[in-house]
Amino acid sequence: MTDKPEFIIAPNPQDEMLSTSVSGFDHTGAKIDTRVVHERALTLYLNSQEVVTMMTIGDHPDLLAIGYLVNQNMLSKDEVITEIEFDADLEVIVVRTEVETNFEGKMKKKIRTSGCAQGTVFGDIMDSFDKIKLSKKATLKTSWLYELTKKINTVPSLYLEAGAIHGCVLCEEDRPLVYMEDVGRHNAVDKIAGWMFQNKTDASNKIFYTTGRLTSEMVIKTVMMGIPILVSRSGFTASGVELARQVGLTLIGRARGKRFIVLSGEDRINFDIDPNTVIDEDKKHNRKASK
C-alpha cells in the first residue's frame, strides 16, 4: 500500500458538544451513567431562500450544508461558493453563491424517502438517474474490505460510545479517509459530500462505507457523489438493490467480520484472500454496535 494518510477526519467521541452523560438504571435496577448524543436544529439557507431545518449533532455544519445542497442537486459541482455564514446561537447557516439559485420548481417535485427525520431527494434526480455513469475501472479487493471494516469498527467513535447514531466513511483501497457521524444517516452522507465538494475529490476510485441500511436514498446519494462502491454493516431494501443494479453500483451489505453479501456490481470485486484466514468480528463489538 501507499503512504497516503488514513482518517483525514475521524470521530471525536470525547467532544462534550456532541454527547452528554445521563443517569439511569440497568436491567438489574443498578444505577448507571451512560452517554447519549445531542440533537440540534440547523436551518439552512441558500442565498436568501430558506431550504430546510435539519436535526444534527452539530459538528461540521459547513460541510453538512454544502453536502445537502450538492446531493439535492441545488449546487452543481462547478458552482462557486462565495461565503458560508454560521450562527450557532440562531442555529442558522447560510451558503452564498456567485449566482442566485432558483429551486422552487424542484421543491414541488420533492419526494419524501425512508431516511431518518425527513431525508429528501428530488424528482429531477430520479429522472436523470439512468444517465449517471460510474467508473468501470474501480476495483475492490476483499483484502481491502476486511482491512477497512476492521479499522472502521475499532476506531473510537460516538457509534461505539453512545449508539443512536449513524456513521459513514469515505475510503480509498484499504484506507478510511473521512469518517462522519450524525443522528440521521443522510446527514453523515451529506457531510462527506460537502468535504468532497470543498476538496474537489476524485470519486471514481473511492469506496463508501455506512453503518445504515442500504435503502434507495443511500444508493442515490452514493451515485450522486460518483462513488462506484457502497458497503454497509446492515442489510438491503429491494428498491435500493434495484437502483444499484440500474446504474451498476457495487452494493455490499451485511459486511461483518469475514462475511458479506453482494447484490449488485460483483464484477468489481477481486476475491484475493481466503476468508478462512480472516479473524471474525469480536462479539464485544457486536454488543456495542447494537446500541
What are residue 145's phi and psi, to 5 degrees? -60, -45
Distance from C-alpha of 9 to C-alpha of 12, rounded to nearest angstrom: 9
Query: Within this chain, do residues 274 and 220 fall inside the same structural domain, yes or no?
Result: yes
What's the CATH number where 91 sits? 3.10.20.10
Question: 234: exposed, middle or buried (C-beta count within 10 Å: 0-12, 13-18, 19+)?
Answer: middle
Q: What tens-digit pLDDT sequence spans the chain (291 residues)?
A: 455 668 999 998 888 899 999 999 999 999 999 989 999 999 999 998 889 999 999 999 999 999 999 888 888 878 899 999 999 999 999 999 987 765 644 555 554 454 443 444 556 666 667 778 899 999 999 999 999 999 998 898 988 887 778 999 999 999 999 999 999 888 999 999 999 999 999 999 999 999 999 999 899 989 989 999 999 999 999 999 999 999 999 999 999 989 999 999 999 999 999 999 988 876 555 544 434
* Structural domains counted in the chain: 2
Last residue of a domain, one of 127, 150, 174: 127
What's the CATH number where 253 sits? 3.40.140.10
Q: Which residue bears the cell 461565503?
A: 83
Distances (CA, A) of 253 to 134, 213, 235, 262: 19, 8, 5, 6
Query: Within this chain, do residues 147 and 284 fall inside the same structural domain, yes or no?
Result: yes
What are residue 9's phi and psi, to 5 degrees? -130, 125
Per-residue model confidence (pLDDT) at position 14: 86
Strands 92-97 and 40-46: parallel
Per-residue model confidence (pLDDT) at position 191: 97
N- to C-terminal Cα separation, the chain? 34
Domain extent for 97:
40-127
Query: Within this chain, do residues 120 and 177 fall inside the same structural domain, yes or no?
Result: no
Last residue of a domain, one of 101, 127, 153: 127
Query: Within this chain, do residues 217 and 249 fall inside the same structural domain, yes or no?
Result: yes
Q: How far is CA 86 from the centre of its chain?
A: 22
Query: Within this chain, do residues 194 and 278 fall inside the same structural domain, yes or no?
Result: yes
Query: Within this chain, do residues 202 and 252 fall inside the same structural domain, yes or no?
Result: yes
Residue 27 lies in a domain: no
Query: Within this chain, do residues 152 and 273 fall inside the same structural domain, yes or no?
Result: yes
Query: Within this chain, do residues 164 and 241 fall inside the same structural domain, yes or no?
Result: yes
SS3 288: helix
Per-residue model confidence (pLDDT) at position 4: 64
Cβ-contact 22, 164 below 8 angstroms: no
Query: Within this chain, do residues 283 and 148 fall inside the same structural domain, yes or no?
Result: yes
pTM (2 d.p.)? 0.87
Query: Within this chain, do residues 171 and 211 fall inside the same structural domain, yes or no?
Result: yes
Last residue of a domain, one of 127, 156, 171: 127
DSSP states along 162-189: T-S-EEEEEEETTEEEEEEEESSHHHHH
